[in-house]
A and B are shown apart, each in its own frame.
Chain A
């Protein structure tokens, strides 16, 4: 037990130390934008996790290498603590503004920044960022200091890399969607030997794609600062914006269409990206998940275009297609960028539910998206058909289940099928709990479909909003959404493992 605590303590401590480093690095942005008054806030914000991280690392010095159980606990605890400590820049910058300290030259505080004087709002924003959700407590993002705009984008970007590492290396197990891609690692009990090279490669690909995405968005017409921030949050499929109306701010079809491939890049499993970059371009159509990503995005766009055309919300078929493509890709990639300002009010129930379906299913495991993931949908669909067909065969027949070029025995299929079913079931259970809490407390002007949409958005780490989420929402709803975002990002099981470990300890039952 003590040894396990030391293992977790050391790795969580390292995560907090890394968090402090990116806070200190953000001082460069403060200097670049002439917001030096935020530097003390960033220094204090960074010093706290650095000190705690140092103490935790010291506590775990010399501890054993982590196994799978520890990996899950570290991921769940680390994500939670990073979200808590990541809220400090929001609070301290707001506090600096409200104190209006003359010697620091801080400007008068805006209502948007003042919302972060409530620490819960900062934790919500930080959890939303690190989980790549994009729901926000900032009413007018363009009124935030550049440092906080940057901090929101940076935490989504870092969280995006984190979740790829999580799903392709740490949590790789049967049914997780990573087994097919990283079979050898899934069988490894120790995570460190393979995770280091995996993390490095993922950072490298992420950095390359970010640079290309910034260039693309800038070329489409965004100012450079906007392009940097939206490329970071778009690739991480997080969806934080630095403008008041998300991508709709630009009133540009070109910007809309340029943002779509950025979101799609974030929706494809990064191991596939790696293989494609090695010259294996055929992975784009031979890999099951990637094929399903394009198929799902295409089908969703088509259905939504037809519904919008039938609803006569927009004036031309081109506008129907433009908004349908952007909003479905934004939802299914779990990004949450918005171009349709009327999504929560003018769009019909059918249109909102199609978008909700995209948010619930998501895209590829091993990418930055949330949701249940297409691989699980594929496993459940094909597995169900396999079981039904099995009724028509004699019991003596040995059958194999084929998926993504792999042949699985009935036992292996059962494991994959069970894992996908458990996660999908838990996903809907917690979705139901969130919806129940929301309809009890939310303003009566919002409908049930609004509540379903909002909770699906939080738990799917999407960030599209019908207008429910904001600094004025009830505290209970903020806490429930924090939990929804957290479990959605970690695919539920690690959070439950952490909670069990906190209650009963790390002992493995005989």
Chain B
């Protein structure tokens, strides 16, 4: 062992020996455990379980921005406080149950439908699930960074997750990423320099929007709006654990309307898309079929209906794609079309929810609410002091006392049980 190692070890042990915990530590642990156990006991009660089921259903049909108070749903004042009798360790008594109840009376796990989600609030991105909330990223309010959107890598699970976060602050847009492994945040980074990013984050003349993963999760795409005359660019980068990593890519075939394709590096390919200059088109998704892959853009124009333009990419041939934006007419005045998701299948929002409409106009299914970027309304999780409910694509925390907090826009995460 080197001298410096010996010095470090000696110092650490000496300093550690200086530290002695106090009984206040157990009281604090006891308080947190009691809180968790009280909630479990509450949610296990059959009447509570059935009423929570009602809490799932009601937001589905209510829609809109108004979230019912849990009191209105449950018809109860919520769980009763269980008197606690904290018992500190080393106090001469045998340790007792942490909340003074018989441990056999309360189950230790919930049996409720769960759907973990990544939530983007203005200054925070979180993973919310049945095991609690994991903060993925926070941004200081002083710098006025605001989260614009989040894209979760396909195949992500609550324990192994990669999320792309687009933030804006002080005049520039930034792409950040967060990695979660085994349920813990293990890495964060920013995509800040060329060729992966358009320009350094010190530049303010580019806006990034519409981050979208390839269906396989091995590439990431986004749309860049350059204000310096470059115009609109669709940029894609490889991703294998971190940006720019992965198998060397080849320049995709040029799609209709695209007059050049010059990959700056194997890990990055960009497409000038002049057709989208000055439009409000959004990159809606990266879809794939057996023979081709395509980016799809959606542009509303204020009239019933919307524009969709599919830009194909491939390796051997140019796939069949639209050679110009296609207008999708919508007859129903109360329908705001949402997305053309694949092969002419359309998601459209109606008063009843979101319909999945096949190319032959047959309605395949009606979802409670939400669009491709959102998740259906419903109960996400109940535990740890309340319930999490998605309404209209936004996650709300509902406390037992009826307080409701809008936590932000929600993005679904796959669950692997």
Do A and B associate with each other?
no
A interface residues (Cβ-Cβ under 8 A, vs B): none
B interface residues (Cβ-Cβ under 8 A, vs A): none
